A and B are shown apart, each in its own frame.
Chain A
Amino acid sequence: DGGITQSPKYLFRKEGQNVTLSCEQNLNHDAMYWYRQDPGQGLRLIYYSQIVNDFQKGDIAEGYSVSREKKESFPLTVTSAQKNPTAFYLCASSIGLGGVLTLPQHFGDGTRLSIL
């Protein structure tokens, strides 16, 4: 079955450490997204990518970085500059960007990041 795989499911970070969250999709989708969800809250967009080697900042990109070297993969790095990284991180994809291609977005099962 096609879908989005996020790993690991749980991740712990020490102060001052960068960590990378993995997101892989086999849906042949062009567009991919990273969201952050805090307890009891909605989703906030961190970064999105329309195509390989292209990505754009979302609403809360500070302290995060991404790459899109392959269509299937969109890893997110949480850098030490992100002062409050504890959250549930969700990766999503859609056929494309713009108009009806943007939806529906398909989500992975998330990575829960905590600070030690």
Chain B
Amino acid sequence: DAKTTQPNSMESNEEEPVHLPCNHSTISGTDYIHWYRQLPSQGPEYVIHGLTSNVNNRMASLAIAEDRKSSTLILHRATLRDAAVYYCILRDVESEGGSNYKLTFGKGTLLTVNP
């Protein structure tokens, strides 16, 4: 899977929007962009994914650059419960076999939400 780069940490205030960036300059045409988050002492939780177009769901929005070399996860109104490590993952959905099924989590971005 292609590599992603995220800031180590970010800080936000409660009820303000948060924009979490991810750079993926070596992304291929069949790589989907996935975001997961992991709250302390819990398993990762799926947030959102997309290929080319911007995506919205009840948790967040995903804005994908036109050249697909970067993307931004947007939390519209941060809450204390959104404090977590956020992972940006690329996944080539055409890859088959062996350990290609694993999810490669980097170190992600630690989001701190201030009350």
Contact = CB atoms under 8 A, between A and B. Distances in A.
Nearest to B43: A107
B93 A43 contact: no
Interface in A73-116: 90-92, 97-100, 102-110, 112
Interface residues of B, number: 23
A99 B101 contact: no
A43 B105 contact: yes
A45 B102 contact: yes
A107 B91 CA distance: 17
A109 B43 contact: yes
B19 to A, nearest CB: 22
Given A40-B107, A99-B93, A99-B94, A58 B46 contact: no
A59 interface: yes
Interface of A: 4, 6, 31, 33, 35, 40-45, 48, 56, 58-59, 90-92, 97-100, 102-110, 112
